[in-house]
Structure 1
């Protein structure tokens, strides 16, 4: 059965970008359609395309107004908006045959010094800490987008019972690899940065390494599963990554 297409809205962002918005709901079907549109932009880049930035429900397309103004008397924004609308039917057809990305396992040492907010999350959910860990590690998550910091994955699929508000006072520095919860989302800090997510564990895997051919371990469309490990395993794996 075909997934209903979310309502399409196009609007300008400054004088050199157009935002394509597909409703307001974060959903796998919307994600698949945005990914299909992104692939079509790679395969058939419209005149004047500079780059694009996919998010949960939007695709922001940056273009060169000068190039487009030389090609047609029509306003550059109107030209790019029209090009995106023309790609939509092909994207809808491609999204119907969407193939999920690879499954990436992320080992996590939960609690203790690696997850200082685990007890808080457990108390908020009225669950034992062990149940929080089990519920967090059980789902297969979808990487909806990568942002905030290079390589930081925004994941869909968190058990609703684990929904926990952000910290009232963000930490000045969160270590790379920290696994946290903020509201109905969970994610992994890819670099040492300030942050207000509730930290429940940490992974020894490096999510972002500028020395790799593909610096970001995770890409939008990938699937992710957290695997609980011991502190001894964390120390061993940290020397391997």
Structure 2
């Protein structure tokens, strides 16, 4: 049995064991883009090295988890390998100009202040911090915006990075690529709703999400996506071609683009006809370039979608 006592290195990274099969690594107790870039660099190097006994690698917002076969590698030996990789690539991920991520940027239409999420959120005002307004009104006020419109402009004003997949199958956790002082943050509902519409665009903490299916939820509701992000029957072309029931991948970049009712209805018509496709472009994302020039890098990334 592996030692269950956590180990914290001089860099602040914490290593913990989950029985004999899992190693959990926390880069930072709080989310930040440099912490995520370090996690991304380490997990990508670990995948490239293909160490015997490493069965699954699950990157997260500011941490990651590795599943091992203890008959092939002792979890304590894996920790030593992970510390080696961290020393080689982790701390330099945000500064190394040679560290780039081959990924894609995706255009995702969103109808903000849509009637469907509005109807739901108004039925659950007794579970909200501010029952007197809407979720957008509340988000705008606590983030210092003078109106819901200016708040929506900020939400749609810069792309997002998918830093984790999970909670329910296909749900992307999206962290906006803006400097820390411009990050939007909102709390979850005081008590969760018992209903959240399928494809609702929500926000909790510093993360935007799209709910892939109808269910309960506690994130603030800001809008609705007309296109699916989960397709269990793989009827839509994007899902059939990729042979996956979920659309997004860890490391994707997303431009949430504001649309009106007419475009929402048009996209829904394409979905119903089974001919909708997301607009995507392959891009190379450089964390060091982004940290040096966030707005310029964002403009270049979004420009790839519009060229």
Same fold (TM over 0.5): yes
Q: What displacement does 1:143 show? A: 1.4
Structure 2: where are the runs of 5+ without partners? 1-9, 119-134, 272-307
Q: Which residue of 1 aligns with 2:200?
A: 178
1:147 aligns with 2:166: yes
112-121 or 230-239, which deviates more: 112-121
Q: What displacement does 1:138 show? A: 0.5
1:60 aligns with 2:54: no
Q: Which residue of 2 aligns with 1:121?
A: 139
CA contact (8 A) 1:137 1:226 kept: yes
Q: What displacement does 1:90 show? A: 4.3
CA contact (8 A) 2:17 2:75 kept: yes
195-204 or 57-66, which deviates more: 57-66
Q: Which residue of 1 aligns with 2:79?
A: 81
CA distance in 2 between counterparts of 1:238 and 1:94 reads 44
CA contact (8 A) 1:179 1:186 kept: yes
TM-score, normalised by the number of residues in structure 2: 0.67
3-state SS, counterpart of residue 12 of structure 1: strand
TM-score, normalised by the number of residues in structure 1: 0.83
CA distance in 2 between counterparts of 1:162 and 1:127 reads 14
Q: Which residue of 2 aligns with 1:235?
A: 265
CA RMSD, 1 decimal: 2.5
3-state SS, counterpart of residue 41 of structure 1: helix
**Structure 1 residues 161 and 114, CA, compared in 2 at 3 Å: closer, same or farther?**
farther
CA contact (8 A) 2:231 2:245 kept: yes
Aligned length: 230
3-state SS, counterpart of residue 265 of structure 2: helix
Q: What displacement does 1:190 show? A: 2.0
**Structure 1 residues 164 and 36, CA, compared in 2 at 3 Å: closer, same or farther?**
closer
CA distance in 2 between counterparts of 1:145 and 1:13 reads 20
3-state SS, counterpart of residue 226 of structure 2: coil
Q: What displacement does 1:168 show? A: 1.9
CA distance in 2 between counterparts of 1:6 and 1:102 reads 31
